[in-house]
Amino acid sequence: MTSKAAITAVREALLTLPEKLAPGDSVEVLRHGKTVLKILRPLPQDEGNAFDVLDECLAALAPSGRRPPKDLASRHKHYLYGKKNAPGD
Amino acid sequence: MGKRTRRGTELPETVFCDASYLIAFFAPSDSAHEKARRIRKRFKDRPVRLFTLWPLLSEAATILLYHYGYAHASALLQAVRAFTVLTPDENDYVEASALFKEWNRDQKLSLNDLLTYVIVKGRLKDMPVLSFDRDIVRMRLRIVT
């Protein structure tokens, strides 16, 4: 597939997206067997409990085996930006 | 100071998740993880919409990647479909930049903190916020506890 053909395939996929996808589904556009575009259609935001999706993604996690800091959430800026004058300290 | 929604009061149907809540939820060893799960359980069997910002997702995913590894960052990003993820526009950045100078005497607030403030107070009409970040809690936002 040429680049032009790949772009056309992506455009066509985008145009047909609302009809092709159910909420929560995804579509992939492949080029030479490799994904060039993957789109997830969001769940409808006016129904259901969005936390269910978070639970599902959390449940699929195996323990990382690392020893991360215990205060990562509350002081994430400290860990992200460095110690000196770090926000959140 | 932040206003907190009290236990027993009616839970909101829309909440805004800041980076610290996203990190706590996907970081099982974190001291805030159980609290994040308890808050989630309060919303059990209720319709609820979650909002966040792309810069906050980026921040949370980066921290999870550095400290927990690829799987945890990936789990967060797989959960993106659960969120209405907003992209700050140029006006939001300009307003947050102005507040950065105006409010930041102690130099603790990040630009993302101020973007959160601008968007939650503006576009999201003071939507309740899930956060474990003291800087966010200090701003005049409605924090869900």
As a whole number of angstroms, the distance between CA B127 and CA B96 comes to: 18
Task: Check residue B72 and give left, alpha or beta (phi > 0: left; psi -120 to 50: alpha).
Answer: alpha
Predicted local distance difference test score (pLDDT) of residue B107: 67
Question: B111 to chain A: which residues are within 8 Å by CB?
Answer: none
Of all residues in chain A, the percent with pLDDT exceeding 90 is 9
Quick one: pLDDT band at residue B4, thresholds 50, 70, 90? low
Q: Where are the domains of chain A?
A: 3-61
pLDDT digits (tens, 9 = 90+) for B92-130: 999 999 998 888 776 678 899 999 999 999 999 999 999
Q: Does residue B18 belong to the interface with chain A, where contact is any CB pair within 8 Å? A: no
* Closest CA–CA distance from residue B21 to any residue of chain A (Å): 7
- Which residue segments constitute the domains of chain B, with CATH numbers given? 3-86+128-144 (3.40.50.1010)
Predicted local distance difference test score (pLDDT) of residue B3: 45
Residues 55-84 of B with CB under 8 A from A: 59-60, 62-63, 66-69, 71-72, 75-76, 78-84
pLDDT digits (tens, 9 = 90+) for A68-79: 888 889 888 888
